[in-house]
Structure 1
């Protein structure tokens, strides 16, 4: 994994999640496949394999560039701007 400028600009220490699940999915009555955590503000959204893709929508709405998996045992991060794992 390589570092990108967006990772370097993230808050330190890592931000805490605002929720334990995707509130957008709860509100719409749908179910998530996996969860993602915004590393700028702590928003929890569903992945792009989920019906509504709330994590990607959060990026489009806010411009927050980096999220990480919010799945137990996984640690990878994704930069929406660079389109790569970081």
Structure 2
């Protein structure tokens, strides 16, 4: 592992760990490149990816959206290139964004940051 990225660690699941536990929802998903924790983005109501960085100090998150391959370094506040991560590299393509299906309120746009 270098620079907060361990490419061998798989993601923690297919959705935000904390939102799933609480029955919540998210706009987009982010994956900790160090431990695999999947959290919701800063546009989401609960912003669990940033909370994970603050709680653990794990600095680098990767998009967990289909077709996106970017990384963000919270500590330096910069985007960066990173290695391929362990599969799967995104939530299932049939899972909507925002998601998950059945938990997103009709007025979801009123709840984003």
TM over 0.5: yes
Runs of 4+ aligned residues of structure 1 deviating over 6 Å after TM superposition are none
TM-score normalised over the length of structure 2: 0.65
Matched, 1:13 2:7: yes
Aligned to 2:100: none
| TM-score, length-scaled by structure 1 | 0.84
Structure whose CA Rg is larger:
2
Structure 2: give runs of 5+ residues left out of the alignment: 81-113
Which of the residues 39, 61, 85 maps onto 1:45?
39
Deviation track 1:10-29 (CA, whole Å, cap 9, x = no partner) reads 44534210111112112222
Give the structure with the higher percent helix. Answer: 1
* Aligned-pair Cα RMSD in Å: 1.7
Give the gaps of 5 or more residues in structure 1: 1-6
